[in-house]
Amino acid sequence: MKSNIPYPVIVLVRTQLPENIGSTARAMKNFGLSDLRLVSPRESWPNKGAKSMAAGADSILENIQVFESIPEALHDVSYTVSLTARNRDITKIEFGPEHAVKKILYYSEKNEKSAIIFGPEQSGLTNDEISISNALVKVPTEINFSSLNLAQAVLLMSWEWKKVHLKNSLSEEEYKDISDPKLYHKTPISSVSERDYFFSRLEEFLEMNNFFATKEMQPSVMNNLKSMFARSNLSQQELGTLNGIISAIERKLKTKGKS
């Protein structure tokens, strides 16, 4: 990913619990953000309570800047959005998370720094605090349960940034490579000849045990089974397991027949 544009700043206002600051740092580091700023945290900073929840994001904690007011924290920022879960008595543009991050990326590509502002855990930001933001961000949560944990909210916005930035900075083929579903095997994919051997064994086993109702339906049933297994992209190990199952049943039937 390109790194020559300013990434968004995360600003936590009047945060109550140091542990939430640590969780926020962890969420940011998961998606490549690093600039975390605090405005009037309730507990003094630095604070040991944040370290355990950061889970390795110590570099972010060590570089946190603390300010007394939001304007001071935004001294080098051009564009700001504030997260809110409540309807506000104030006229503001309101975005969903993805659109907000696209707007942030737009300014980042102009080499202008943006910030995402989060309020305290219990009450959120006041109208006065959000009045300086260019826009509000509202996550489309359940109407009767709209409040997000602080670190969850930061994680959501950090992920949206990562996703939009990746899509914008990678070629279509590169983005497809990381976004499309993949099937990983510990062993190589089975070859056509290996699968054909298994199908032959399976058909012989089913025929010997009177699985096919009529001789005429046998080809159709086998085609269905082959298609089903082919869709699974069986690995050599998986095919070996299936062959082993047939062998085990055959041994059991032979032993039973002798007795």
Q: Give me the CATH number covering residue 232.
A: 1.10.8
Residues 53 and 166 in one domain: yes
- The answer on pLDDT for 18 being more than 90 is yes
pLDDT class of 184 with cuts at 50, 70, 90: low
Task: State pLDDT tens for residues 57-87.
Answer: 999 999 999 999 999 999 999 999 999 876 6
Lowest mean per-residue pLDDT among 23-37, 77-91, 166-180, 226-240? 166-180
51-65, 78-92, 126-140, 222-236: which has the minimum mean pLDDT?
A: 78-92
Closest CA to 192 of 142, 143, 239, 153: 239
73: left (phi over 0), alpha (psi -120 to 50) or beta: alpha
| Domain match, 146 and 245 both | no
Predicted pLDDT at 133: 94
| CATH number for 112 | 3.40.1280.10
Range of the domain at 228: 192-258
- DSSP bridge partners of 36: 10
* pLDDT attached to residue 197: 95
Phi, psi values for residue 115, rounded to 5°: -140, 145
Instruction: Kindly indicate the confidence band of residue 2, based on its pLDDT and cuts at 50, 70 and 90.
Output: very low
Provide the residue type at 7 as one letter: Y
Q: What percent of the chain has pLDDT over 70?
A: 94
Q: What is the mean pLDDT of the chain?
A: 90
Q: Assign residue 55 a region (left: φ > 0; alpha: ψ between -120 and 50; beta: otherwise).
A: left
| Mean pLDDT on 92-119 | 94
Domain assignment present for residue 185? The answer is no
Beta carbons of 100 and 139 less than 8 angstroms apart: no
Total number of domains constituting the chain: 2
- Residue 135 pLDDT greater than 80, yes or no: yes
Helix residue ranges, H only, 138-182: 150-169, 172-179
pTM of this prediction exceeds 0.85 = no
Q: Check whether residue 175 and residue 199 sit in a common domain.
A: no
Specify the higher pLDDT residue, 183 or 210: 210
pLDDT above 90 covers what percent of the chain?
67
In a domain, 18, yes or no: yes
Q: Average pLDDT of 116-140?
A: 91
Task: Indicate whether 159 and 39 sit together in one domain.
Answer: yes
The predicted pLDDT at position 183 comes to: 63
Q: Is 83 within a domain?
A: yes
Q: Is 222 inside any structural domain?
A: yes
3-state secondary structure of 147: coil
| 216 and 172 within one domain | no
- pLDDT band for position 185 (cuts 50, 70, 90): low
Of 179, 211, 236, the one marking the end of a domain is 179
